[in-house]
Amino acid sequence: MWRRKTLFSGLAVVLLALTFLLLAQWRALDPLDRQLGDALLRWDARHRLPPDDIVLIDIDQGSLNDDRMLALAGAWAWPRAVHAELITALARRGPRAIVVDLILSPPDRLEPYNDEALAQAMDFERAFVPMILMPDAGQPPPLALAPPIMGIRRMAQADPDARYGIDAPTALPPERWRTGYINFVADTDGIGRRIELGREVRGWWIPHMVGRVAEALQLPQPRTSAFRLHWYGRDFQRIPYAQVYLASQTEGASLPFDPEGKIIVIGATASGLLDFLATPQGATTPGPYVLQTGLANLQDRSWLRDAPGWISPWLAAGLIVGCAFLFWRRVSPVWIVTGFLGVALLLLAVAAGALRTNWYWMPLSVLAMTALALLAFGLLSARLELAHRHRVQAMFARFVDARVVDHLVASHQGVAASDTVEREVTVLFSDIRGFTHLSEYRAPEDVVALLNRYFETQVGAIFRHQGTLDKFMGDGIMAFWGAPIPQANHAGLAVAAALDMLQALRGFVAQLKGEGVEIALEIGIGIHTGPAVVGFLGMRQRLDYTAIGDTVNLASRIEGTTKGVARILVSEATRRQCAADFEFTDHGCFKIRGREQEVHLFEPVPRTGSEG
């Protein structure tokens, strides 16, 4: 009897403590709920198709590299007169709205007629351009001076002297500033899950682009100033900019889509233009896709409504009371755990079903608190089992070096804290010549073993010269210098590594010959120096340290040019940076796919008297 009372008293104390923690510290478990919510949103998105009347005219990599666009508009950034011609052609065909997701500041002072042409095109009354909010701007003008067309309006008790930093579309005259801001607000973990309709600043309403378009088109809107985005599993209709523009400039040609009645977003997804946002869909979600998602959610009333805040605390309290009762009744722990898993699956199914009805509720905090209660109750009711677990843990600790765990924890934090930056790097691509033919006459396991040994020799050369291994691509290798640690002589290190890779290959072939394996291996190496975006890219569940940009693309294409020319070819940019360290054989200029101008290529040779 005494033991039962003691157990009951202990359960009551734990229950009260957990209830207090539940009510007072609930938000501490938000990161867990967010991760579960992101996973369920990705699952739910697979069943959701975007509407076909919200279209993206996409400034993609293909449009930037299109020879006809290069001939008409030159390299990016294109003259604003080009956008003006496109907008004019679209406006004639009756779209519901045209949203230009391109920064239109500062004015073009060298060729102002480009901005004048764009201003004329913006005469279409449902054409919108973006502005950027800059809350930390020094001395911005008063909001009261904003042109009415901007949609900034006075609310109740507005401060007449209120100021707020705004980067307006100054390429246009103020009477064409039909605008909304496009700032994307992220949660504390850096991932954006909501979009604003606008924000109130000292009694003044500043509209977001989504809110501005929704108001103009009289789309349904939530009562809150921001809403949670409900993602789609497929891309919206996306037409390359080059296709639409070139068709609009060809007499008698029809556009690749019918603009009538559609909301058209003109934006960029090309990797070099860096219009990417971290969302539950991925770390590099294109910015125009986020705008389209917000507009589509409003149009079909499918934005996610947050469940009432009282549901989770009361549900957790009820489950904890139920666990206490089961332990007090001495129900087998096996049945209790089984029941908890069943409840967990049921709540996950409820959360997934809620998404299908446009409600957002995640049960992970409830389950975490219930699991904590189960643990506490188990500690009180099974001391012998706890002692046994302690013994098992002690035995386990004898066989595991704690320093290994410390190392894993430290490296994980390092990945999470890394930033993506733009810097000058030297990129190297290498590829085996004839490997496909070679693999046709060997068993797959022999090919893999041979390739692994080859990679060891080549990566060893890269590491000896302080390179960063990016990835393996079949039988190819990508590496770069200049990141993550800046290197003043990154071009020279890359060229030295390439020469070392050739030496390592010769040694590898000789070693195979000594083992009785007659094989002829040749490689091609391409190197280019220039700016690239370097850092950890991907999803939070998986991050890869990599480099992206035009510099990477050109290095890869230089490698493809080596066949029949030289084993190693470098660009003029690379040669210029390390001309004092190597001699170079001039192989002339080559036409590289996707580039208007020919590329001057050189073959490096160790300088006489230097180490090979």
Domain shared by 432 and 522, yes or no: yes
Judge whether 44 lies within some domain: no
Domain shared by 370 and 445, yes or no: no
Domain shared by 575 and 515, yes or no: yes
What is the Cα–Cα distance from 132 to 203, expressed in whole angstroms?
19
Domain shared by 387 and 443, yes or no: no
Helix pair angle (311-328, 2-24), 10° resolution? 170
Q: Which two tokens stand for residue 471?
A: 């990835």
Lowest mean pLDDT among 298-312, 328-342, 369-383: 369-383
Domain shared by 170 and 197, yes or no: yes
Domain shared by 294 and 312, yes or no: no
Q: Note the pLDDT of residue 381.
A: 61
Query: Is the pLDDT score of 411 beyond 60?
Result: no
Higher pLDDT, 528 or 137: 528
Q: Note the pLDDT of residue 534.
A: 84
Domain shared by 98 and 186, yes or no: yes
Domain shared by 427 and 448, yes or no: yes
What residue numbers bound the domain in which 179 lies? 49-299
Q: How confident is the model at residue 296 (pLDDT cuts 50, 70, 90)?
A: very high
Q: Note the pLDDT of residue 18.
A: 59
Judge whether 270 lies within some domain: yes
Judge whether 192 lies within some domain: yes
Domain shared by 387 and 441, yes or no: no
- Percent pLDDT > 70 in the chain is 84
Residues 298 and 220 sit within 8 Å (Cβ to Cβ): yes
Mean pLDDT of the residues in the chain: 84
Domain shared by 194 and 250, yes or no: yes
DSSP 150: G
Q: Note the pLDDT of residue 311.
A: 83
Q: What is the mean pLDDT of residues 307-324?
A: 80
Structural domain total, the chain: 3
Query: Is the pLDDT score of 231 beyond 60?
Result: yes
Q: What is the mean pLDDT of residues 116-143?
A: 92
Q: What is the mean pLDDT of residues 541-551?
A: 77
Judge whether 408 lies within some domain: no
3-class secondary-structure state, position 261:
coil
Q: Note the pLDDT of residue 520.
A: 76
Lowest mean pLDDT among 38-42, 52-56, 369-373, 569-573: 369-373
Among 383, 398, 413, residue at a domain's last position = 398
Q: What is the mean pLDDT of residues 175-184?
A: 94
Q: Note the pLDDT of residue 502.
A: 93
Judge whether 510 lies within some domain: yes
Q: How confident is the model at residue 539 (pLDDT cuts 50, 70, 90)?
A: low
- Name residue, tokens 């089961």: 326
Q: How confident is the model at residue 26 (pLDDT cuts 50, 70, 90)?
A: low
Q: Where are the strands (E) in 455-610, listed by range? A: 468-473, 476-481, 522-539, 542-548, 568-571, 582-590, 599-606
Query: Is the pLDDT score of 524 beyond 80?
Result: yes
Lowest mean pLDDT among 184-193, 265-274, 305-314, 493-502: 305-314
| Most confident option among 267-271, 374-378, 390-394 | 267-271
Domain shared by 111 and 200, yes or no: yes
What is the Cα–Cα distance from 580 to 70, expressed in whole angstroms?
36
Query: Is the pLDDT score of 408 beyond 50?
Result: no
Q: Which residues contact 575 (CB under 8 A, 6 or more apart)?
A: 584, 602, 604
CATH number of the domain to which 503 belongs? 3.30.70.1230
Task: Report DSSP letters for 54-81, one per residue.
Answer: EEEEEE-HHHHH-HHHHHHH-SSSPPHH
Query: Is the pLDDT score of 254 beyond 50?
Result: yes
Among 274, 299, 324, residue at a domain's last position = 299
Q: What is the mean pLDDT of residues 260-286?
A: 93
| Most confident option among 133-137, 247-251, 297-301, 517-521 | 297-301
Among 265, 280, 299, residue at a domain's last position = 299
In our burial notation (b when 16+ CB lie closer than 10 A, e otherwise), range 223-233 reads eeebbbbbbbe
Domain shared by 172 and 317, yes or no: no
Q: Note the pLDDT of residue 14.
A: 60
Q: How confident is the model at residue 28 (pLDDT cuts 50, 70, 90)?
A: low
* pLDDT tens-digit series, residues 163-178: 999 999 999 999 999 9
Lowest mean pLDDT among 136-150, 242-256, 302-316, 430-444: 430-444
